[in-house]
């Protein structure tokens, strides 16, 4: 049963990793079926997108481009870890902040 859930939600989970537009598309595609695997990764990517927005808005502005660049690279690494987990069909939390994303966006 778990394998079926992963296979059914894998496409939406992958789509959610590609820009805010992909996240929105995945969210809309997942609205009717509410696949647990897809929802898990939609929450993860929503959190990473919020952090990326804050990075561009707050870190760059107040701490400078070097700090913003470093945070951007760290966010890219978290994104890559998440994408690789989706491709493997695993539910893997983003290190450090993944649990908070799941709790914060649990309504999705």
Question: Taking the model in full, what pTM does it have?
Answer: 0.88
Contact assessment for residue 24 and residue 2, using Cβ atoms and an 8 Å cutoff: no
* Residue 67 to residue 55: CA distance in whole angstroms: 9
Would the pLDDT of 1 be above 60? no
Q: What is the pLDDT of residues 47-88, one digit of tens each?
A: 999 999 988 888 777 787 788 889 999 999 999 999 999 999
């Amino acid at each position: 049963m778990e394998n079926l859930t992963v296979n059914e939600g894998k496409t939406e989970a992958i789509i959610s990793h590609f820009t805010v537009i992909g996240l929105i598309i995945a969210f809309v595609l997942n609205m009717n079926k509410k696949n647990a695997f897809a929802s898990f990764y939609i929450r993860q990517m929503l959190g990473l997108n919020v952090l990326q927005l804050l990075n561009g808005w707050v870190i760059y502005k107040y701490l400078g481009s070097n700090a913003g660049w470093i945070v951007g690279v760290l966010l890219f690494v978290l994104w890559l870890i998440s994408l690789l987990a989706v491709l493997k069909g695993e539910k893997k939390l983003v290190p450090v902040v993944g649990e908070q994303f799941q709790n914060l966006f649990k309504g999705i």
